[in-house]
């Protein structure tokens, strides 16, 4: 059924704002906002639970524009419904310093729930948001008292569904039965190169039915069908839903509708004029907003404030009946990490045989699980190897929605995006684990976490040639250098079990971006500790583990991870040769760079140029700490398949090599 005159006026307001902004910027994607304006209008004004005056309200629905290239659709909706985004920002689309960048960016624009643009990322992130909602509702809701009850909506595109991450994430969501997740698929059959018949002819309906999704097909320009489909999807509580919306890209453009020419370029002044005439719109005006339309959209402010007040009343009643749970809910949603954390960190006794840092990490997880009760996570089918299961609380979904060990399956990319989604949703402290080499599969999700400064936590084991016989396919060589190069990312490679304890503390207290805990497969000696070299200094990124006898050392030996104990042995060997060396443990470049200049200079005196860094990975980047006269012992080739002891000797990563370098 066609929309009413007023509804059509509102929809065309979205379309013309999008067209005009893209044209003024001389850059952007007008076709998708024009095609999905009907669907978005019905969702935002008839179903979406939101409060434009408080975009962070805990029980709001989450909306994701996974097809982030159509950002003007979202910006138009945010402005029209009364978010803190003025018309001047719409007119400043894609310009320096505006709140309307080319693709939606979390933290920059009020109401943007996640950064999107790299296709498929929004799809996967939404799965994590729905997972968090399901976990929290199962944890906190009581009969007659519902305080967590919201949906995760997303608009996804052909491109999103082509990307590999969508397959991983869709499979995961269907298996988990995430019934509060509703995706609206813009099936306009056009991509950049032309008709999707060129590359994409699968039966999407059958594909998602096979994933255990609830699937509907509608005319994406029929408001009654749109509303009915969303309502039916809300009523489906056991499965995620996808609504296949048949739409026309560039809707209403006389010469560019249903053409790739409307996808990624402005329509052009003449075509915009013709399109506005087709809409019965003032053709010579730009950014024209009819008062009747704005009045409809701005009702969302009143509706939103009312909805939040009703929730606050419900929460007050909940608080009266379940005061401890209410306090816990507030602590969780504010990401409050209790001071009890430090007292519960395990302390490992000195031990020459020691343990792998992955094993130490597993002990830390289970030592802190009750003082960080919203810690939830798991691995990409590697729980036994990464040591990341949370004992005693069951498996998420498999046992119950309050299970705390997540089984992601062999889906590293989907896992990374889901961890981001849970972190963005709030209320939980999520982590995901895999072998370090497989960050290759999840790098786009890590990068988005860094771009958004979201505290996603990744536990990455089997960190070097130390994994041994599995060989170069599984031995990360360039990964440390690569991930250290990523802005806003904290990489921590602890040198023994006690450093691993404090690496977890640093990760849990880092709210400014993702933290990567890089851990060994092989055992490491648990090193002796004193007040001066206590493992808590990990949080400074680098510290003097064993100092020289003289105030100014003859050499500085810098070790990370499994190579720290080699530097300690080398110090003893150098002493026998009359060389007085300092050993610096440097688990994290990023944490070290946050320290003041006095501290950094105390660890690395400028006068000491004889420096040797040792790390079982690429030497790239270490020159910043060893200088022009120093030496880096590492690996600048791929590894080999052999027992790890043989590999370290083969590649010259030994105490003897350190001694030789420091003696030159």
Distance of CA 57 to the CA centre of its chain: 20
- b/e sequence 569-599, b meaning 16+ C-beta within 10 Å: bbbebbeeeebebbbbbbbbbbbbeebeeee
Task: Say yes or no: do domains 5-304 and 542-663 share a fold.
Answer: yes
Q: How confident is the model at residue 545 (pLDDT cuts 50, 70, 90)?
A: very high
Catalytic residue status for 412: yes
Q: How confident is the model at residue 2 (pLDDT cuts 50, 70, 90)?
A: low
- What's phi and psi for 501, nearest 5 deg? -55, -50
CATH of range 340-526; options 3.40.50.450, 1.20.140.10, 3.40.50.300, 3.40.50.970 = 3.40.50.970
Rg, the chain, Cα only = 28
Residue 1 and residue 578: Cα distance in Å, rounded? 90
- What pLDDT digit, counting tens, does each position of 488-520 carry? 999 999 999 999 999 999 999 999 999 999 999
Q: Residue 318, CB half-sphere, CA atoms under 13 Å: how many?
A: 22
Q: Work out the average pLDDT over 534-550.
A: 97
Q: Domain 5-304 is of which CATH architecture?
A: 3-Layer(aba) Sandwich (3.40)
- What pLDDT digit, counting tens, does each position of 74-90 carry? 999 999 999 999 999 99
Q: What is the structure's pLDDT at 664?
A: 86
**Contact assessment for residue 39 and residue 253, using Cβ atoms and an 8 Å cutoff:** no
Q: Work out the average pLDDT over 382-410.
A: 96
Q: What is the pTM assigned to this prediction?
A: 0.98
Residue 397 and residue 177: Cα distance in Å, rounded? 8
- What pLDDT digit, counting tens, does each position of 344-368 carry? 999 999 999 999 999 999 999 999 9
**Contact assessment for residue 413 and residue 442, using Cβ atoms and an 8 Å cutoff:** yes
Ordered DSSP codes for 243-268: EEEE--TTTT-TTTTTSGGGTSS---
List 300, 412, 563, 590, catalytic entry:
412
Of 53-62, 319-328, 395-404, 585-594, which gets the smallest average pLDDT?
Answer: 395-404
- What pLDDT digit, counting tens, does each position of 248-282 carry? 999 999 999 999 999 999 999 999 999 999 999 99
CATH of range 542-663; options 3.90.1140.10, 3.40.50.920, 3.90.1150.220, 3.40.50.150 = 3.40.50.920
Q: What is the structure's pLDDT at 388?
A: 98
Q: Work out the average pLDDT over 34-43.
A: 98
Beta carbons within 8 Å of 210's beta carbon, 6+ residues apart = none
H-run or E-run covering 124: helix 121-140
Q: Which two tokens stand for residue 490?
A: 């904290």
Q: What is the structure's pLDDT at 338?
A: 84
> For the chain, what are the domain ranges?
5-304, 340-526, 542-663
**Contact assessment for residue 595 and residue 554, using Cβ atoms and an 8 Å cutoff:** no
Beta carbons within 8 Å of 178's beta carbon, 6+ residues apart = 127, 130, 131, 134, 152, 239, 240
Nearest one of 35, 64, 31 to 48, comparing CA atoms: 64
Q: What is the structure's pLDDT at 83?
A: 98
């Amino acid at each position: 059924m066609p929309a009413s005159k007023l509804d059509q006026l509102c929809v065309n307001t979205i379309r013309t704002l999008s067209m005009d902004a893209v044209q003024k910027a001389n850059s952007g994607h007008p076709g998708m906002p024009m095609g999905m304006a009907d669907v978005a209008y019905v969702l935002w004004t008839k179903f979406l639970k939101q409060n434009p005056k408080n975009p962070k309200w805990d029980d709001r629905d989450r909306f994701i524009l996974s097809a982030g290239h159509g950002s003007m659709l979202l910006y138009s909706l945010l402005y029209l419904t009364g978010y803190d985004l003025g018309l001047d920002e719409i007119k400043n689309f894609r310009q320096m310093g505006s709140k309307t960048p080319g693709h939606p960016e979390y933290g920059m624009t009020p109401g943007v729930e996640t950064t999107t643009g790299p296709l498929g990322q929004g799809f996967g992130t939404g799965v994590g948001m729905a997972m968090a909602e399901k976990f929290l509702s199962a944890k906190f809701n009581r009969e007659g008292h519902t305080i967590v009850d919201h949906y995760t909506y997303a608009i996804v595109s052909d491109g999103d569904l082509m990307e590999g991450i969508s397959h991983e994430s869709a499979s995961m969501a269907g298996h988990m039965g995430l019934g509060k997740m509703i995706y609206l698929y813009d099936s306009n059959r056009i991509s950049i190169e032309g008709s999707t018949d060129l590359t994409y002819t699968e039966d999407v309906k059958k594909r998602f039915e096979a994933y255990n999704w609830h699937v509907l097909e509608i005319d994406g320009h029929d408001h009654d069908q749109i509303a009915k489909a969303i309502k039916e999807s809300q009523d489906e509580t056991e499965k995620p839903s996808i609504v296949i919306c048949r739409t026309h890209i560039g809707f209403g453009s006389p010469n560019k509708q249903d053409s790739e020419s409307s996808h990624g370029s402005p329509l052009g002044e003449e075509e915009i004029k013709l399109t506005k005439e087709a809409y019965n719109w003032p053709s010579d005006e730009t950014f024209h907003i009819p008062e009747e339309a704005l009045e409809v959209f701005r009702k969302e402010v009143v509706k939103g404030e009312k909805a939040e007040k009703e929730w606050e009343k419900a929460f007050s009643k909940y608080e009266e009946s379940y005061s401890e749970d209410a306090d816990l809910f507030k602590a969780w949603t504010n990401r409050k990490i209790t001071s009890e954390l430090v007292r519960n960190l395990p302390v490992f006794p000195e031990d020459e045989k020691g343990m792998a840092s992955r094993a130490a990490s597993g002990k830390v997880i289970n030592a802190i699980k009750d003082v960080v009760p919203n810690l939830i996570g798991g691995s990409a089918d590697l729980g036994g190897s990464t040591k990341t299961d949370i004992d005693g609380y069951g498996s998420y979904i498999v046992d119950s929605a309050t299970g705390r060990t997540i089984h992601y399956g062999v889906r590293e990319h989907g896992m990374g995006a889901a961890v981001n989604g849970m972190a963005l949703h709030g209320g939980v402290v999520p982590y995901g684990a895999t072998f370090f080499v497989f960050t290759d599969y999840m790098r786009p999700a890590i990068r988005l976490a860094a771009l958004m400064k979201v505290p996603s936590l990744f536990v990455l084991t089997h960190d070097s040639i130390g994994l041994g016989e599995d060989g170069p396919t599984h031995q990360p060589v360039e990964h440390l250098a690569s991930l250290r190069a990523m802005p806003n990312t904290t990489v921590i490679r602890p040198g023994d079990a006690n450093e691993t304890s404090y690496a977890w503390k640093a990760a849990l207290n880092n709210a400014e971006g993702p933290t990567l805990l890089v851990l060994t497969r092989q055992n490491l000696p648990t090193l002796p500790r004193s007040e001066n070299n206590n493992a808590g200094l990990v949080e400074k990124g680098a510290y003097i583990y064993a100092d020289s006898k003289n105030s100014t050392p003859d050499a500085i030996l810098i070790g990370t991870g499994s190579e720290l104990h080699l530097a300690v042995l080398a110090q003893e060997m150098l002493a026998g040769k009359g060389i007085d060396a300092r050993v610096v443990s440097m688990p994290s470049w990023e944490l070290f760079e946050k320290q003041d200049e006095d501290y950094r200079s105390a660890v690395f005196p400028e006068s000491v140029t004889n420096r040797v860094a040792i790390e079982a990975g690429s030497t790239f980047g270490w020159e910043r700490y060893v200088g022009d006269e120093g030496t880096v012992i590492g690996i600048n080739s791929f590894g080999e398949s052999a027992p790890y002891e043989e590999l370290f000797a083969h590649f010259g990563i030994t105490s003897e090599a350190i001694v030789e370098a420091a003696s030159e």
